[in-house]
Amino acid sequence: MNPIKHVAVIMDGNGRWGISHKGSRNLGHREGLNTVEVIIEECIKEKIKYLTLYTFSTENWKRPKKEIKYLFILLENFLLKRIDELIEKNIKLRFIGELNKLPSTLKNLIKLSEEKTSQNTAVQVNIALNYGSKNELINALKMINKKNITINEKNIDKNLFTNSIPNPDLMIRTGNTQRLSNFMLWQLAYTEIFFEKKLWPDFKKKDFRKILSKFISIKRNFGSI
């Protein structure tokens, strides 16, 4: 059995890539999509069942309107143009985050793509969109309170956006920055974390494979010896 069930990724460095290639930050976002496709393919090949991609954080609303709009349009176009291909490749999409705050065209497309891919089984790609771990935890605690159930690990797990998704075995952050930026603070409690110097658009198949093989060699203790 594959010891890697779930890989989570903070796809950082697009903006810097765009600027350093004599373009705009948005050029980097567009280029970053190629890496997304490569990594999804690799997960399918490696029989990794869950891939979570941090796409837009609750803090990313602080960015210029133009950049935010571009990011949403990029995602909309991807969902519009590629949905048949995703179905053909047996890829399941799930979106995690505070989705009700998103523009309605995007919300409709999200619903549609989740529905259309719901039966697929090769890999489940979780798109973290308007996702913030603190927001997620507050939300979960409010639900627990409303349902009048006990606060315990199981009930918190069940009421997070990530309910029914196993915790990540490994998390990769590209872009030469060593922080979590409000990503899966609860779920990463025992995850192996890899900080990668390369910017997301420069992150290639061989870089991903290198990290997977490093992961395999790690002895995970989970507190034991």
Residues near ligand IPE, by CB under 6 A? 10-16, 54-57, 60, 71, 175, 177, 179, 181
Binding site for Mg ion (CB under 5 A): 12
Distances (CA, A) of 57 to 8, 71, 82, 180, 221: 14, 12, 23, 11, 31
What's the rounded Cα separation, in Å, for the pair 42 and 35? 11
Angle among Cα 193, 102, 176 to the nearest 5 degrees reads: 25
Using the minimum distance from each CB to ligand IPE, give the nearer residue, 67 or 114. 67
Sheet hosting strand 192-195, strand order edge to edge: 91-96, 123-131, 50-57, 6-10, 170-173, 192-195
Residue nearest to ligand IPE (CB): 15
Neighbours of 56 (CB within 10 A): 20
Using the minimum distance from each CB to Mg ion, give the nearer residue, 12 or 207. 12
In 27-159, beta strands by DSSP E: 50-57, 91-96, 123-131
Using the minimum distance from each CB to Mg ion, give the nearer residue, 75 or 86. 75
Report, in Å, the least distance between residue 144 CB and ligand IPE: 27
Catalytic residues: 12, 60
Contact partner, 5, from Mg ion, ligand IPE, none, Cβ < 5-8 Å per class: none
Contact partner, 155, from ligand IPE, Mg ion, none, Cβ < 5-8 Å per class: none
Contact partner, 126, from ligand IPE, Mg ion, none, Cβ < 5-8 Å per class: none
Report, in Å, the least distance between residue 182 CB and ligand IPE: 8
Residue nearest to Mg ion (CB): 12
> Tokens at residue 84, please?
């048949």
Report, in Å, the least distance between residue 208 CB and ligand IPE: 17
What's the rounded Cα separation, in Å, for the pair 4 and 222? 16
Using the minimum distance from each CB to ligand IPE, give the nearer residue, 131 or 218. 131
Q: Given phi > 0 = left and psi -120 to 50 = alpha, else beta, which region is 147?
A: alpha
Report, in Å, the least distance between residue 54 CB and ligand IPE: 4
Using the minimum distance from each CB to Mg ion, give the nearer residue, 12 or 42. 12
Report, in Å, the least distance between residue 175 CB and Mg ion: 6
CB-neighbour burial class of residue 198 (10 A; exposed 0-12, middle 13-18, buried 19+): middle
